[in-house]
Amino acid sequence: MASQLRLRSALALVTGAGSGIGRAVSARLAREGAAVAACDLDEAAARDTVRLLGGPAREEGAPGGKHAAFQADVSQAAAARRLLEQVQACFSRPPSVVVSCAGITRDEFLLQMSENDWDKVLAVNLKGIFLITQAAAQALVSSGCHGSIINISSIVGKVGNIGQTNYAASKAGVIGLTQTAARELGRHGIRCNSVLPGFITTPMTQKMPQKVQDKVTGIIPMGHMGDPEDVADVVAFLASGDSGYITGTSVEVTGGLFM
Ligand SMILES: CCCCCCCCCCCCCC(=O)CC(=O)SCCNC(=O)CCNC(=O)[C@H](O)C(C)(C)COP(=O)(O)OP(=O)(O)OC[C@H]1O[C@@H](n2cnc3c(N)ncnc32)[C@H](O)[C@@H]1OP(=O)(O)O
Ligand SMILES: NC(=O)C1=CN([C@@H]2O[C@H](COP(=O)(O)OP(=O)(O)OC[C@H]3O[C@@H](n4cnc5c(N)ncnc54)[C@H](O)[C@@H]3O)[C@@H](O)[C@H]2O)C=CC1
């Protein structure tokens, strides 16, 4: 039972909380007792996630509910700063758990990839994690609070993938960013780890051509795609004291794909 409420004193900020892995992470952290600040570019989707967590939503300035929804574009510095301000105003404390799930794809072969598709993916997937990690770390350090920052990379950041020069670069960058943050923030009691999901059933992967989906599934040692909850299991562990001496790591959740 204890492990089921190991996050009862935590406030968790989850970006990309309106869909897929971010929604599953929000549900799992809430189930383990955390208050969840669910953020998404799509505010309605973030609100839907908070409704799924159960109980009344906490609106800024009207404390009552346990969880709250926020709208922000993580790729914009002012929005990232404003998000951390709004979360602290709503909950009277900085988030002790920060999970960056917000991410996009703009897939194309290198020979045809546009600069715009490169820029957009790097802005959301890498710069967005820089901005959120920085704003959250600044809030935690200035308040003397410890924390756990979990950044969602991808197995593609480790091995590359056809059609994803932009995405692969962004996800490889997330690993290096997180390792560096771990080196700098450890002395402040802030742990930073990356999670590298493999092929997970979400709207993001459902956009892939079916023939490619079939190709990938055929080479997964466990023989099937993963669920968002498989990723949430690892995120909850990294968020909790059960991983208290783990920082700077990259945890692969892939069914053995590209081990
Ligand atoms: C033995 C198979 C090995 C497969 C390895 C694949 C690993 C993928 C793991 C993903 C796990 C993590 C995913 C993640 O982090 C979340 C995401 O990023 S989900 C999106 C992942 N995106 C892709 O994998 C790219 C998929 N491809 C496309 O979207 C289109 O092909 C593309 C827009 C790049 C080009 O479209 P188009 O010009 O229409 O060409 P085709 O679609 O007809 O493709 C031509 C040819 O190339 C083959 N192909 C395309 N992508 C891949 C790929 N990723 N891996 C392997 N092969 C690919 C495609 O099957 C065609 O082959 P033919 O034999 O000519 O039919
Ligand atoms: N689905 C998969 O197989 C894998 C996914 N990932 C990563 O996991 C994370 C979540 O992916 P999924 O749940 O599959 O995708 P998804 O598309 O279901 O959810 C992504 C969420 O991020 C939000 N978002 C997009 N841009 C944003 C922005 N600028 N600011 C704030 N929110 C924004 C979207 O509105 C959406 O709700 C992404 O970072 C993705 O790259 C990594 C490996 C595998």
**The CATH number of the domain where 237 resides is what?**
3.40.50.720
Q: Identify whether 1 is part of a domain.
A: no
- Domain of residue 126 covers 11-253
Residue 6 belongs to some domain of the structure: no
Ligand 2 pocket member 192 (CB < 6 A):
no
The pLDDT, as a whole number, for residue 1 is 41
245 assigned to active site: no
CB 101 within 8 A of CB 15: yes
Ligand (nearest to CA of 204): 2
CA distance to 14, 15, 147, 155, 243, per residue, from 248 (Å): 19, 20, 14, 16, 12
User: What's the predicted TM-score (pTM) here?
Assistant: 0.97
Q: Is residue 259 part of a domain?
A: no
Domain assignment of residue 2, yes or no: no
Q: Is residue 258 part of a domain?
A: no
Tell me the pLDDT tens digit for each residue of 22-38.
999 999 999 999 999 99
Distance 73 CA to ligand 2 centre (A): 12
94 Cα to the center of ligand 2, angstroms? 23
ipTM higher than the 0.90 cut: yes
- Give the number of domains in the chain: 1
Strand order of the β-sheet with 97-100 is 68-71, 35-40, 11-15, 97-100, 147-152, 190-197, 250-253
Residue in the block written with tokens 């002790």: 96
**Has residue 137 been placed in a domain?**
yes
Within a domain: residue 55? yes
105 falls within a domain? yes
